[in-house]
Amino acid sequence: MKAVRIHRFGDESVLTVENVPIPQPGPGDVLVRVHAAAVNPVDSLVRRGLFAVSDRPMPWILGWDFAGTVVAVGSGTTRWAVGDVVYGRPSLARDGSYAQYLAVDAGEIAAVPRTLSLESAAAVPLVTLTAWKALFDLGGLEAGKTVLVHAGAGGVGTMAIQLARHRGAKVVATASGDGVELARSLGADEVIDHRGEDFAARGRFADVVLDAVGGETLERSYNVVASGGALVTIAGAPNEEKAAELGISVHTFVLDSNGPRLSEIAALVDAGELRPVVSHVLDLDDVAQAHRLIDSGRTRGKIVLRVR
């Protein structure tokens, strides 16, 4: 099969398109013919050696978002059959989805949303699972509370806005340029253009803050969380001491795969409550261009690789 592998860490030039053996599904696995794979910032972090996901020897196949068709099932797998069309966020510890075939644990996948193309479906799992865990499992966001979503036009931000709106929360997002209108179109009640307004000047107005930016944005976010609220970051290290002084909680996490939750998410998509934002669809051979785009930090929504 054709796959994109890295043999060492580095910039996008280390991504090589190669012919490699098709993986074999182990017990509890399914083998999926991948039709589309999404590109996420974590892919770049792994490529650069900044995020350790495995101690297995290289080369590695990157990519942890996909949609495709089941073509074989491993022993003990009863939930799925050949011909099922599925999507998922597979384990970071195994080879990923920048390939024509992917062996994946049967518990990490779900039936694709019926209303989406496979390119759009591939853009859903990682960012939506991330937003769900941050907002609800860790942040405790409920109806009537206020959430501040940083980078509201990004991959996680676009889904976080919609999930929070569906839950009945008041949604404030930060964005810039055409991202301001995008965040509004997804259901944000207010959008702060961070190039012209200081979100921290509003004081402690948010019950939950979801930070996907890190750096100075993370540091300034502590002081906008209301007493008893939560700050959840996917872009930095929590400062527990600072959080304790302010009477808030602070969290970060490594996302777990979650097939049953993906089934819930698919139902929300098909009900019209969630829609993925895909800004670029490129061929697998154009993976280096996709990584240059993700490294720019200026993309809207998701980048998807079409696997022919």
Are 65 and 108 within 8 A, CB to CB?
A: no
- What is the model's pLDDT at position 54? 82
pLDDT (0 to 100) of residue 202: 94
Amino acid at 204: R
If one counts every other C-beta atom within 10 angstroms of the C-beta of residue 130, the result is: 23
| Cβ count near 269 (within 10 Å) | 22
Indicate if the pLDDT at residue 299 is higher than 90: no
Q: Kind of pairing, strands 170-175 and 146-149?
A: parallel
What is the pLDDT, as a whole number, of residue 253? 94
Q: State CA 192 to chain mean position distance.
A: 22
| Nearest residue to 307 (alpha-carbon basis) of 293, 287, 278 | 287
What is the reported pLDDT for 176? Answer: 95
Q: Which one has a higher pLDDT value, 68 or 297?
A: 68
> Which tokens belong to 137?
């499992």
pLDDT of residue 29: 97
pLDDT at 306 over 90: yes
The answer, yes or no, to whether residue 117 has pLDDT greater than 90, is: yes
pLDDT the model gives residue 191: 98
Tell me how far CA of residue 99 lies from CA of 5, 44, 56, 244, 308, in angstroms. 9, 17, 19, 45, 10
pLDDT at 55: 85
Q: Give me the phi and psi of 56, to 5 degrees please.
A: -75, 155
**In terms of C-beta density within 10 A (0-12 exposed, 13-18 middle, 19 or more buried), how is residue 184 classed?**
middle
Looking at every residue in the chain, the average pLDDT score rounds to 96
Predicted confidence (pLDDT) at residue 68 exceeds the cutoff of 90: yes
Task: Spell out the domain ranges in the chain.
Answer: 2-124+276-306, 126-251
Q: Which one, of 138, 183, 128, lies nearest residue 160 by Cα?
A: 128
Measured between alpha carbons, how far is 78 from 210 in angstroms, rounded to an integer? 38
Beta bridge partners of 148: 172, 209
Whole-angstrom Cα Rg for the chain: 19
Q: How many CA atoms lie within 13 A of 251 on its CB side?
A: 20
Mean pLDDT of all residues in 38-67: 93
Q: What is the pLDDT of residue 51?
A: 86
pLDDT digits (tens, 9 = 90+) for 208-218: 999 999 999 99
Burial class (CB in 10 A: 0-12, 13-18, 19+), 186: buried
pLDDT, residue 18, reads 97
Three-class SS of residue 56?
Answer: coil
pLDDT of 276 reads 97
* Residues 121 and 113: beta-carbon distance below 8 Å: yes
In tens, the pLDDT along 153-171 reads: 999 999 999 999 999 999 9
Q: What's the pLDDT at 53?
A: 81
| Residue whose C-alpha is closest to residue 162's, from 184, 180, 187 | 187
pLDDT value at position 16? Answer: 98
- Token look-up 């942040």 returns 139
Q: For the whole model, what pTM was predicted? A: 0.96
Counted residue by residue, the chain has a size of: 308
What is the C-alpha separation between 99 and 46, in angstroms, rounded? 17
CATH number of the structural domain 2-124+276-306: 3.90.180.10
Give the tens place of pLDDT for each residue, 85-105.
Answer: 999 999 988 999 999 999 999
Q: Read off the pLDDT band of 304 (50, 70, 90).
A: very high
DSSP assignment of 143-187, as one string? Answer: TT-EEEESSTTBHHHHHHHHHHHHHT-EEEEEE-TTHHHHHHHTT
Nearest-5° Cα angle at 32, 128 to 160: 5
The yes/no answer on whether domain 126-251 falls in CATH 3.40.50.300 is no
> What pLDDT shows up at residue 159?
98
- Note the pLDDT of residue 286: 98
Tell me the C-alpha distance between 183 and 31, whole Å: 37
In this prediction, residue 293 carries a pLDDT of 96
User: pLDDT tens digit string along 128-139?
Assistant: 999 999 999 999
